[in-house]
A = this chain, B = another copy of it.
């Protein structure tokens, strides 16, 4: 050890926990994915979240959810899971404001008619507090959500992809509907401004929902 070096005493990666999650996912996806794919999804999902996490306490649990959601998306994309529900993916830069609000509002208004996912091109460590508060005001709890990097699997599973401010970061595949919404970024804005953005996104969500399911008229 040279005088320049500082040894690292960080927490060991929770390998045993992650292998246990992989065991569970391997059971759930028997006949759909190889064990190699599932192991890679679990460990790469962990590393992808760890890259931007500030608090690592919940990282294993979030990893299990992220890997599970990604594998489910991939199973849908390859036709191993049949689901006629309209899959909508919202993508913004940080997955900490706009895409989280849009996904939550679409899930709220769309109910069983839609399934939503969200992601960010450059995810941050946590969802903006002002965004969590603005959503709580309308009775929507974002407490269980977390910023996730955009992955190929969730794009493949989507019927509709809505991008907000993330440029060309999202893969474009034929046969999907791509929309780009010009919505203001709530990062650092006041509560009143975030409420206005919430209203803007809610109007767009209702309009899109009515287009996808004409029986659901926007109010």
Name the interface residues of A130-176: CB closer than 8 Å to any CB of B: 149-153, 155, 161, 163, 168-174
Question: Quick one: given A46-B152, A51-B150, are A172 and B204 in contact (CB under 8 Å)?
Answer: no
Let me know if A44 is at the binding interface, CB within 8 A: yes
Known A46-B152, A52-B122; judge A174-B8 contact (CB<8 A). no
Q: How many copies does the complex hold?
A: 2
Q: How far is the CB of A10 from chain B (nearest CB, A)?
A: 5
Q: A12-B172, A40-B40 are in contact. List 10 more A-B contacts (CB 8 A).
A: A1-B211, A6-B182, A7-B179, A12-B174, A37-B37, A43-B171, A47-B151, A47-B155, A50-B168, A122-B122
- List, in ascending order, chain B residues with CB within 8 A of A52's CB: 121-122, 169
Contact A2 B182 (CB under 8 A): no
A-B CB contact pairs (8 Å), 14 listed: A1-B211, A2-B208, A5-B204, A6-B182, A8-B172, A8-B179, A12-B174, A34-B36, A37-B40, A44-B151, A44-B153, A47-B155, A51-B149, A53-B168
Q: Does A15 contact B (CB under 8 A)?
A: yes
Chain B neighbourhood of A43, CB < 8 A: 152, 171
CB atoms of A169 and B37 under 8 A apart: no
Distance, CA A58 to CA B172, complexed state (A): 16
Instruction: Verify if A180 is at the interface (C-beta below 8 Å from B).
Output: yes
CB distance from A168 to the nearest CB of B (A): 5
A15's closest neighbor in chain B, by CB?
B173
* Interface status of A203 (Cβ within 8 A of chain B): yes
How many Å lie between the Cα of A13 and that of B12 in the bound state? 37
CB closest residue in chain B, given A211: B2
CA distance in complex: A15, B4 (Å): 46
Nearest B residue to A200 via CB reads: B4
Does A85 touch B at the CB level, under 8 Å?
no
Task: Say if the beta carbon of A215 comes within 8 Å of chain B.
Answer: no
Q: How far is the CB of A102 from chain B (nearest CB, A)?
A: 12
Q: Are B181 and A4 in contact (CB under 8 A)?
A: yes
- In A28-60, the 8 Å CB interface with B consists of 33-34, 36-37, 40-41, 43-44, 46-48, 50-53, 56
